[in-house]
Amino acid sequence: MTKTKTMNEAPTTNRALRAWVQAIAEHTRPARIRWCDGSEEERITLERDMALSGSFIELDPRTHPRSFLHRSDPTDVARTEHLTFISTPRREDAGPTNHWMSREEAQARVWPLFAGAMKDRTMYVVPYLMGPAGSPFSRVGVELTDSPYVALNLRIMTRMGRAALGHLGAAESFVRGIHSLGDLSPDRRFVVHFPETLEIWSIGSGYGGNALLSKKCHALRIASAQARAEGWLAEHMLILGLTSPEGRTHYVTAAFPSACGKTNLAMLVPSLPGWKIETVGDDICWMHPGSDGRLWAINPENGMFGVAPGTSLKTNPNAMKALAHDVIFTNVALRAGRRVWWEGMSQLDEHEIIEDWRGAKWTNGAATSPAAHPNSRFTVPLRQCPSAAGSFDLATGVPISAILFGGRRSKLAPLVYEARSFRHGVYVGATMASETTAAATGAVGVLRNDPMAMLPFCGYNMGDYFAHWMAVGKGLSRPPKIFHVNWFRTGDDGRILWPGFGDNIRVLKWILERVEGTATARESAIGLLPHERGIDLTGMDLSKDALFQLLAVDSGAWLREADGVLEFLRKFADRLPAALLAEHRSLVKRLHDSLH
Ligand X SMILES: O=C([O-])CC(=O)C(=O)O
State the minimum distance, in angstroms, from the CB of residue 256 to ligand GTP. 5
Instruction: Express the helix, strand and coil content of the chain in percent, nearest 5 each.
Output: 30, 25, 45
Partners of 413 in the β-ladder: none
- State how beta strands 122-130 and 139-145 pair: antiparallel
- When CB distances are held under 5 to 8 angstroms depending on the partner's kind, the choice from ligand X, Mn ion, ligand GTP, none that residue 279 binds is none
Partners of 124 in the β-ladder: 34, 145
Determine whether the annotation assigns residue 261 to a binding site: yes
Cβ count near 567 (within 10 Å): 10
The H or E element spanning position 522 is strand 522-523
Write out the residues near ligand GTP by the rule CB under 6 A: 256, 258-264, 282-283, 306-307, 309-310, 315, 439, 487, 496, 500-501, 504
DSSP, collapsed to helix, strand or coil, labels residue 470 as helix
Determine whether the annotation assigns residue 209 to a binding site: yes
Quick check: 143 binds ligand X (CB under 6 A)?
A: no
d(CA 428, CA 501): 23
Interacting span for Mn ion (CB under 5 A) from 61-69, 247-255, 281-289, 385-393: 281-289
Determine whether the annotation assigns residue 376 to a binding site: yes
Single out the residue of 81, 143, 283, 393 in contact with Mn ion (rule: CB under 5 A). Answer: 283
Interacting span for Mn ion (CB under 5 A) from 271-279, 283-291, 485-493, 580-588: 283-291
- 170 and 14 Cβ atoms separated by less than 8 Å: yes
Quick check: 220 binds ligand X (CB under 6 A)?
A: no
Quick check: 70 binds ligand X (CB under 6 A)?
A: no
Interacting span for ligand X (CB under 6 A) from 209-217, 427-435, 469-477, 578-586: 209-217
Quick check: 79 binds ligand X (CB under 6 A)?
A: yes
Indicate which residues carry an active-site annotation: 260
Please identify, using beta-carbon distances, which residue of 165 and 327 lies nearer to ligand GTP: 327
Q: Is the dihedral of CA 314, 316, 322, 327 positive or negative?
A: negative
Interacting span for ligand X (CB under 6 A) from 11-19, 208-216, 473-481, 586-594: 208-216
d(CA 174, CA 220): 15
- 231 and 296 Cβ atoms separated by less than 8 Å: no
State the minimum distance, in angstroms, from the CB of residue 487 to ligand GTP. 4
DSSP, collapsed to helix, strand or coil, labels residue 240 as strand
Quick check: 149 binds ligand X (CB under 6 A)?
A: no
Q: What is the DSSP track for 528-540?
A: EE--GGGS--TT-
Single out the residue of 439, 507, 535, 550 in contact with ligand X (rule: CB under 6 A). Answer: 439
- When CB distances are held under 5 to 8 angstroms depending on the partner's kind, the choice from Mn ion, ligand X, ligand GTP, none that residue 565 binds is none
d(CA 389, CA 318): 13
Please identify, using beta-carbon distances, which residue of 283 and 343 lies nearer to Mn ion: 283
- When CB distances are held under 5 to 8 angstroms depending on the partner's kind, the choice from ligand X, Mn ion, ligand GTP, none that residue 260 binds is ligand GTP
- Side-chain-side CA neighbours of 127 within 13 Å: the count stands at 26
Amino acid 449 reads N
Interface with Mn ion (CB under 5 A): 258, 283
- Tell me which residues touch ligand X (CB under 6 A): 79, 208-209, 215-216, 258, 283, 305, 439
